[in-house]
Structure 1
Amino acid sequence: MKKGMIKKLKLILSDKIILRSFQSFLILSGLFILVLIWKWPVLPAQLPLFYSLPRSEEVLGSPYALLILPFLSLIIFSVHLIFAMRIFEREKLTSRILIVCAVIVEIILLLSFLKIIFLIS
C-alpha cells in the first residue's frame, strides 16, 4: 500500500460516520466468518443457492458457491472505500453515502447468507 493511500485512509477514518461504518463492516465480516466456520461441517453437498433459475438441478450449488456472498461483500466495500478515499477531501457527504451504502449491501448479503445457512441446516 502506498504511503499516500495510508494517509488517505487515516484521513477518511477520522470522520465519525465513516469510522462507525468501517467498524460495522468489520463486525459483520466477522459474523460471516464465524457462521461459516460453525455451520461448514454440517452443510450438505448441494445447497439451494440460485433461486432465480427455473426449478431444476441448476438451483443447487456446492457449499463453496456460498462463499460468493462474503467475497462479494468484501469486493463491494473495498471498491466503495477506495472511491470514497479518492473523493473525501472534495465530497465528504458523497464519501459517507458510499460507505454507508456498502455497509447496507453487506447487511443484505449477510441476511441472505444466514437465511440460506439456517434454512438448510
Structure 2
Amino acid sequence: MKLSSILICPKCSSNLTKHLNHWHCENCQKTYPIIHGIHDFRCSPKNLEPNIAEAIQKFHQLTYQELLDLVLISKRLPKRINQKIKDYYSKEIERTETMAATFIQDAKIPNGRSVLDLGCGSGSS
C-alpha cells in the first residue's frame, strides 16, 4: 500500500502529492516538510508569527531563557521535547568553553599564540 493512498491534508482533507522533501496539497497549497525522514503534518497556528515578532521586539528586555520560551511556545512541541531543547541551549556556553579548552590542549597551542578558526559553530553539537 502506498503512503499517498492513505494520507490526506490535515488542513482541508484533500489528497496529498509526495515530493522529494515534502508533501503538497494542490487544494489548499499547504506544504508539509519531510525532515530527516520524518513527515511533519503539524498545522501551525495562525498566531505563529506574533510570538516571533514579540521575541524580536523584546530582545533587549527579556532574558535569554524568556526569549527561548517565547519561540518554543510557537512550535507547539510536547513539554518533554521543549525541556530537552531548553536544557541543550542553556548549556551552550559551557559546551563551547569545554570544546575550545579541549582543542587548545589537544593542539598543544602555546599560551599567547593566536588561532584562526575556520569552522562554524563551536563543534559541540
TM-score bucket of the superposed structures, by smaller chain: under 0.3
TM-score normalized by structure 1? 0.27
| Larger relative contact order (Cα-Cα within 8 Å, sequence gap ≥ 6) | 1
| Greater per-residue strand proportion | 2
| Greater per-residue helix proportion | 1
